[in-house]
A and B are shown apart, each in its own frame.
Chain A
Amino acid sequence: SAVISQKPSRDICQRGTSLTIQCQVDSQVTMMFWYRQQPGQSLTLIATANQGSEATYESGFVIDKFPISRPNLTFSTLTVSNMSPEDSSIYLCSVAIYYNEQFFGPGTRLTVL
């Protein structure tokens, strides 16, 4: 298994600002993912974070809005840019080794006013 931490655990932000969420894993992993979970809904994949190269974004998500970094095999950041109330969600980081079992971080609860 893998132990994943996320910072911050929650935040309340003003419209138009940006927030960077950090994801730290206790071991080297091949795959890191960022998901969004809107209230009362299931998970939606935002992107796959690739080490040393640009992230792979899913349909409906763009790099300008959700820039992602992954400088090494244990750390990634997701930035939510120019936020609006529609961005209020739980943001979740997950990891997997060669597309096998997934493990999730505790999530970041974001509220945009």
Chain B
Amino acid sequence: DIQLTQSPSFLSASVGDRVTITCRASQGITSYLAWYQQKPGKAPKLLIYAASTLQSGVPSRFSGSGSGTEFTLTISSLQPEDFATYYCQQLNDYPITFGQGTRLEIK
């Protein structure tokens, strides 16, 4: 199984801040990585796939980068609606695995 480790697990930031979340894979997965946003009581929402492709309708302040084993999700200027939990997911092989999540809270 491909293990995904996100860092940090918890992040406190302010509106307008630039934040970066990292996802490390236990083996190389080229660009086969996606990012999801989940708000309390809601299903996860796809933000980015193929490491850097923005899903339709997702604001351009979200961006993704990386390949191989290290990936990042960046939010360029935090908005109030961005405070949520973020998960990475590998798209390389079964079994499907997710990172443990990064909780982004308002400072």
A binds B: no
